[in-house]
Amino acid sequence: MTRTPDSKSLAPAARKPRAVGRRPKGADNKETATVILDAAEKLFSANGFYGVTVRAVADECGVDSALVHYYFGTKQALFDAVFARRTELVNQDRMDAMTRYEEEYGDGMTVEGVATAFLMPLLDRVRHSDPGWKNYFALVGLVNNSRDWGAKTMTAHFDPVVRRFIALLQRALPDAGTEDLFFSYHFLTGALTLTLSDTGRLDRLSDGRCSSSDIEAIAPRMIEYAAAGFRAVCKPRT
């Protein structure tokens, strides 16, 4: 007698869900997390947060997506790790530069000097560093111009450095209004992040006379431009 299989035996075996955070094969490679961060940084800088998936990051660096989940958990956590990795370095550089400048010049600080201490640690990274830094700075430009999540990210990572910058400017411009200082910073950060993004628009607009990647030419002009702008906007009002 032929036995007819029941519906239960015909049903496909249920796939056991993967536990996020378990150790996948190959997870002990110490370089893997860095490779994942580099790949994610490249993709986020080109496509933004919503245009990137964990699967795309895994494919970009040639690993299983389980490794991405193992090291970083969620896409949001991965993005946060990408953004924090280089931000912590540049923020420390800027804080150190502003502290050294204040200690050396005290009440003799100038707007140009404060602007130099604030800007040059970033511009030096653009001038001397590897392509990974270009991806990071493009990401900063993208985040700084994004509503909601972008503003929250910039606030979480950069507010202490900006407030330190404003405090030094208040010493260099003792008659400046607080509102004028913050508006002037608002204008400066737009110019700075556009420069860091290195879009090439300046090259095309100037018919090749200027280059958006020419930091040697950009840095002194940006400092002079920023200082003049702060003085003009922050002058005492009648």
Task: Give the tens place of pLDDT for each residue, 149-161.
Answer: 888 899 999 999 9
| Residue 30: predicted pLDDT | 62
Does the pLDDT at position 122 exceed 80?
Answer: yes
Mean pLDDT in residue range 86-93: 96
Which residue has 């990401």 as its token pair? Answer: 139
| Residue 11: predicted pLDDT | 40
| Residue 224: predicted pLDDT | 97
**d(Cα 19, Cα 70) in Å, to the nearest integer?**
9
Residues 33-75: pLDDT tens digits?
999 999 999 999 999 999 999 999 999 999 999 999 999 999 9
Does the pLDDT at position 234 exceed 80?
Answer: yes
Residue 39 near residue 135, CB atoms below 8 Å? no
Angle at 97 between CA 113 and CA 160, to 5 degrees: 100
Angle at 219 between CA 217 and CA 221, to 5 degrees: 75
How confident is residue 195, by pLDDT bands cut at 50, 70 and 90? very high
**d(Cα 214, Cα 55) in Å, to the nearest integer?**
36
Q: What percent of the chain has pLDDT over 90?
A: 79
| Residue 27: predicted pLDDT | 53
Does the pLDDT at position 19 exceed 70?
Answer: no
Does the pLDDT at position 179 exceed 70?
Answer: yes
Q: Which of 2-11, 32-41, 58-67, 87-96 has the lowest mean pLDDT?
A: 2-11
Domains of the chain (ranges; CATH) run: 20-72 (1.10.10.60), 84-233 (1.10.357.10)
Prediction pTM value: 0.83
Mean pLDDT in residue range 152-172: 95
List the structure tokens of 166.
């404003």
